[in-house]
């Protein structure tokens, strides 16, 4: 299902092709979030039009509404969303545990506060998590087999196994116990999938192990030793970017030794510098709320490393600016000539049009960046391309 | 600026072409609202793509934010919105008076409650209305000359003169006094425009007169006797549709006698049966929040007269429906195959994608309906086309 087309000589970076039930995906690739079955504000055809081949939908949210049975009855998630390409579904583990140690989500996802919708955990045991639904207040249960069953009903191309996303501020012992349970759940998920899962659905195991080098390595070995089709890297990745890159390198380094031909997905990471760094560390696919969430908050992605690749159009300094979001950007928002002043005004006026235009711009920016990284790998010059992007080169999508 | 291309033999219905500074508009036409400088959720190119040639923006809201001076500094409203076609701006009279007799807006616009954003009137006199801005709490003033100055700065193709939108539940005497003042303001607006207004900007006077036949007729005569380029019909149009159609017929009947070659705009009317009826009464253009506002509330327009051409996709009965919004509809939402069940689910999940798809569908539906009415007039068979649409025929845009 995965072919490495080009491998960097000086790094773990590689370009490949994922062959999935609904089509192929050129990697490295960013995967936009269609959390509840829609990329917020866009429809499926627009997402495809921005150059995306793979999207991620959320098991936890979709099992609560509209419900896995209903999605299945309506022809599956592809049919429901009218998305004809591949879909990856997460396992729901991250969301279901976030209800309990809410702070984990905040740490990893950079959120300031717990969201109301996260519901409430009632109990956790070896079989999974009992919780109260934020949709209707009913008691629900999610565990390894249940997660796989939901993902089978949704009909995704890639299912993720059920895991506990280990928090950061826990003891080594906690991390150890939690990681071991994630490995037991991996076996249960694979067993369930073998007996009941759709044959054409790929399954990714998840590497945990927190920020402990030996636990990350062991986890990577354990997952690589399983029959999973691909491998995701999850959990707490550390307190800052340099630790995060180190933790990812432990995992990908071990995976390169143990399972070089299996695709690797990094969960929940997607800031521009992290995408560049982790492509060099051998990650094939990434999902993250950052580009779309920033857009909803009025922030546009621009090639300005010193500003974390961000410009906040909500700020008063843009009220008179006739500049486009990004000069020369081919995305529909820039190509149509909307000025920063217009977007600033629309954001302040709470007009949906602004959110949508910024979402489109940001997703286009990231798609072009990933295209450049792919092209760099294929041309044997990833380091050069990465250095240029890090220095503030505008992404060109040279792979298009 | 206006050419009648076809006139019905048995009704006042007519098809024409408006030639404006930024292009031509085929009439009869519906005019979508870009109240604050954007059709909610869409960008200008998308609105044009749905077949619209003219949009309406709001003087009151735009003078408060971002402000007329800033819009002018940024190159005018066309440049700001990146809309290359004609724009009509209302005068702000409706909004500014709505702050005082808020109930007027509710009566005419079918709103259940006053909106917070409507601010507060401080005083009204012969020169205009002093009020408190809902944006920043500052004291502001709007009167005939000020309204024309704002519209000049916005650079619209059609400016409306400043009027008082007479409420429904007032005495005949109040209506008489109010209408007389609107006529004095018409003269002041035209004088200001002649001295200071952009030469290429057309000015429409406004017929008031409430539901009094003689006052409506006199108002139509007074406006027709002025040098205005076109004529809008405003104010309270009655307690129900049949009274509304009667009031419109008084105005258009008189205008047909006094100023047959000037274009006629009906303010704030846009339900499907009203569009059909008022085209037969000789209205050339219409603006209304209905198609876009319904979309934001989950209601789609469908050819079902017995259901007021509406289907409420928020309702539970659609949760399992694989039907599209409207079978055979060529709009992007229907053509891409989104089901009622998907839209229902997205509406319940508060996903913006649903609002946007329904807005697109509704605007496309109305554009096609108006196209059919135009084609009917041009073919000398408006009565037949109107009867078919009233009986539930799906609009085909036979004029396209």
Phi, psi of B7 (to 5 degrees): -120, 130
Question: Minimal CA–CA distance to A204: which of A176, A226, A219, A184?
Answer: A226
Q: What is the pLDDT of residue A103?
A: 44
CB contact under 8 A, A40 and B352: yes
Q: Is A350 on the interface with B (CB under 8 A)?
A: no
* The pLDDT of residue B245: 97
Cβ neighbourhood burial of B50 (10 Å; 0-12, 13-18, 19+): buried
Query: Is B336 at the interface with chain A, CB within 8 A?
Result: yes
- Is the CB of B353 inside 8 Å of chain A's CB atoms? yes
Going by DSSP bridges, is the β-strand pair A55-57/A87-89 parallel, antiparallel, or unpaired? Answer: parallel
What would the mean pLDDT of A270-276 be, rounded to a whole number? 98
Distance, in Å, from the CA atom of B323 to the CA atom of A230, rounded to the nearest integer, reads 37
Q: In the annotation, is A372 catalytic?
A: no
Question: Three-state SS for B50?
Answer: coil
Residue A121 in this model has a pLDDT that exceeds 80? yes
- ipTM for the predicted complex: 0.95
Among residues A157, A163, A274, A287, which one is catalytic? Answer: A287
- C-alpha distance from B26 to closest chain A C-alpha (Å): 25
* B43:A357 CB<8 A: yes
Backbone angles phi, psi at A48, to 5 degrees: -60, -40
A82 close contact with B: CB closer than 8 A? yes
Per DSSP, which regions of A225-279 are E strands? 230-233, 264-267
Among B2, B15, B1, which Cα is nearest to B282's?
Answer: B15
Please give the CATH superfamily to which domain B2-288 belongs. Answer: Queuine tRNA-ribosyltransferase-like (3.20.20.105)
Report the residue of chain B nearest A323, measured CA to CA.
B74
Which residues does A299 contact at the CB level (< 8 Å), separation at least 6? A310, A311, A312, A313, A314, A358, A362
pLDDT by residue (tens digit) across A329-367?
999 999 999 999 999 999 999 999 999 999 999 999 999
Catalytic residue among B157, B163, B229, B287: B287
A175-188 tens-digit pLDDT? 999 999 999 999 99
* Amino acid B118: pLDDT: 52
pLDDT in tens, B330-351: 999 999 999 999 999 999 999 9
Question: In the structure, how many helices (H) and strands (E) does chain A have?
Answer: 16, 16
Residue B16, min C-alpha distance to chain A (Å):
31
Nearest CB neighbour to B322, from listed A38, A74, A336: A74
pLDDT of residue B99: 84
pLDDT digits (tens, 9 = 90+) for B53-72: 999 999 999 999 999 999 99
Does residue A398 belong to the interface with chain B, where contact is any CB pair within 8 Å? no
Q: Report the helix count and the strand count for chain B, using DSSP H and E.
A: 16, 16
Residues linked to residue B87 through DSSP beta bridges, in sequence order:
B55
Residue numbers in A near B65 (CB within 8 A): 345, 348-349
User: Which residues does chain A have within 8 Å of residue B81's beta carbon, measured at their own beta carbons?
Assistant: 342
Report the residue of chain A nearest B38, measured CA to CA.
Answer: A353
Phi, psi dihedral angles at B48 (to 5 degrees): -60, -40
Q: Strand order in A264-267's β-sheet?
A: A29-31, A285-287, A264-267, A230-233, A202-207, A158-160, A87-89, A55-57
Contact B326, B394 (CB under 8 A): yes
The answer to whether the CB atoms of B342 and A37 lie below 8 A apart is yes
For A201, the 3-state DSSP assignment is coil
Q: Which of residues 86-115 of B touch A (CB under 8 A)?
A: none
CB-CB under 8 Å, A43 with B349: no
SS3 label, residue A64: helix
Residue A127 among the catalytic residues:
no
Q: What is d(CA B114, CA A22) in angstroms, rounded to the nearest whole number?
A: 50
Check A38 against B336: CB less than 8 A apart.
Answer: no
Asked if B38 and A338 come within 8 Å (Cβ–Cβ), the reply is no
**Of A41, A38, A147, nearest to A94 (Cα)?**
A147
Concatenating the DSSP letter of every residue in B94-110 gives HHHHHTTSHHHHHHHHT
- Centre a 10 Å sphere on the Cβ of residue B232 and count the other Cβ atoms it contains: 28
Spell out where chain B has E strands: 2-7, 14-20, 23-27, 29-31, 55-57, 87-89, 120-125, 128-132, 139-142, 158-160, 202-207, 230-233, 264-267, 285-287, 299-301, 310-312
Q: Which residues of A touch B354 (CB under 8 A)?
A: 38
A19, pLDDT greater than 90: yes
Closest CA to A216 of A274, A281, A141: A281
Q: Quote the CA–CA distance of A356 and A187 in Å, as a whole number.
A: 41
B341 part of contact set with chain A, CB < 8 Å = yes
| Domain limits, chain B | 2-288, 299-390
| Distance in angstroms (rounded) separating the CA atoms of residues B389 and B400 | 17
* A109-119 core/surface letters (b: 16 or more CB in 10 A; e: else): eeeeeeeeebb
State residue B101's pLDDT score.
57
Distant-in-sequence, close-in-space partners of A291: CB < 8 Å, separation ≥ 6: A30, A32, A270, A301, A359, A362, A363, A365, A366
CA distance B318 to chain A (A): 12
Whether A75 shows a pLDDT value over 50: the answer reads: yes
- Work out the number of other CB atoms within 10 angstroms of the CB of residue B69: 11
CA-closest candidate to residue B244, choices B265, B227, B269, B226: B269
Q: In sequence order, what are the residues at sequence separation of 6 or more whose Cβ sits closer than 8 angstroms to the Cβ of residue B390?
A: B273, B276, B305
Candidates B74, B346, B356; nearest CB to A341? B74
Q: Give ∠ CA B205-B208-B213 in degrees, rounded to 5.
A: 130
The DSSP output letter for A60 is H
Tokens 């940024």 belong to which residue?
B74
Do B38 and A80 count as a contact with CB atoms less than 8 A apart?
A: no
Catalytic residue, chosen from A43, A90, A127, A397, is A90
CA distances from B104 to B249, B257, B271 (A): 21, 30, 18
Interface of A with B in 48-77 (CB under 8 A): 65-66, 70, 73-75
Q: Residue for token digits 């809201």?
A: B61
State residue A400's pLDDT score.
Answer: 59
**pLDDT tens string for chain B (400 positions)?**
999 999 999 999 999 999 999 999 999 999 999 999 999 999 999 999 999 999 999 999 999 999 999 999 999 999 999 999 999 999 999 999 988 755 444 544 444 444 455 578 999 999 999 999 999 999 999 999 999 999 999 999 999 999 998 888 899 999 999 999 999 999 999 999 999 999 999 999 999 999 999 999 999 999 999 999 999 999 889 999 999 999 999 999 999 999 999 999 999 999 999 999 999 999 999 999 999 999 999 999 999 999 999 999 999 999 999 999 999 999 999 999 999 999 999 999 999 999 999 999 999 999 999 999 999 999 999 999 999 999 999 999 876 5
């Amino acid at each position: 299902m995965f072919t490495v087309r080009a491998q960097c000589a000086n790094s773990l970076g590689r370009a490949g092709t994922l062959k999935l039930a609904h089509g192929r995906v050129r990697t490295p690739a960013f995967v936009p979030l269609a959390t509840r079955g829609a990329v917020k504000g866009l429809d499926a055809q627009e997402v495809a039009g921005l150059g995306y081949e793979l999207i991620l939908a959320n098991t936890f949210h979709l099992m609560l509404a509209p419900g896995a049975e209903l999605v299945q009855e309506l022809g599956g998630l592809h049919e429901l969303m009218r998305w004809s390409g591949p879909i990856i579904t997460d396992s729901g583990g991250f969301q279901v545990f976030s209800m309990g140690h809410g702070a984990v989500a905040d740490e990893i996802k950079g959120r300031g506060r717990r969201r109301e919708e996260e519901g409430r955990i009632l109990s956790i045991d070896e079989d999974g998590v009992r919780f109260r639904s934020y949709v209707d207040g009913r008691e629900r249960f999610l565990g390894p087999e249940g997660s796989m069953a939901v993902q089978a009903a949704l009909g995704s191309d890639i299912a993720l196994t059920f895991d506990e996303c280990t928090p950061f501020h826990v003891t080594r012992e906690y991390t150890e116990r939690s990681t071991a349970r994630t490995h037991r759940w991996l076996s249960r998920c694979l067993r369930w999938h073998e007996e009941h899962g759709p044959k054409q659905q790929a399954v990714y195991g998840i590497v945990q192990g927190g920020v402990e080098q030996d636990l990350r390595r062991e986890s990577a070995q354990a997952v690589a030793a399983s029959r999973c089709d691909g491998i995701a890297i999850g959990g707490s990745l550390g307190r800052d970017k340099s630790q995060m890159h180190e933790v990812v390198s432990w995992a990908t380094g071990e995976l390169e030794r143990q399972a070089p031909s299996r695709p690797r997905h990094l969960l929940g990471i997607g800031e521009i510098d992290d995408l560049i760094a982790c492509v060099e560390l051998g990650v094939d696919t990434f999902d993250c709320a950052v580009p779309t969430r920033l857009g909803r908050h009025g922030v546009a992605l621009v090639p300005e490393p010193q500003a974390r690749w961000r410009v906040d159009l909500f700020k008063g300094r843009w009220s008179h600016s006739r500049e486009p979001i990004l000069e020369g950007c081919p995305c529909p928002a820039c190509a149509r000539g909307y000025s920063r002043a217009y977007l600033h005004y629309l954001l302040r006026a709470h007009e949906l049009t602004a959110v949508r235009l910024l979402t489109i711009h940001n997703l286009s920016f990231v798609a072009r960046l990933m295209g450049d990284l792919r092209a760099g790998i294929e041309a044997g010059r990833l380091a050069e391309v990465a250095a240029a992007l890090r220095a503030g080169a505008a992404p060109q999508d040279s792979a298009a």
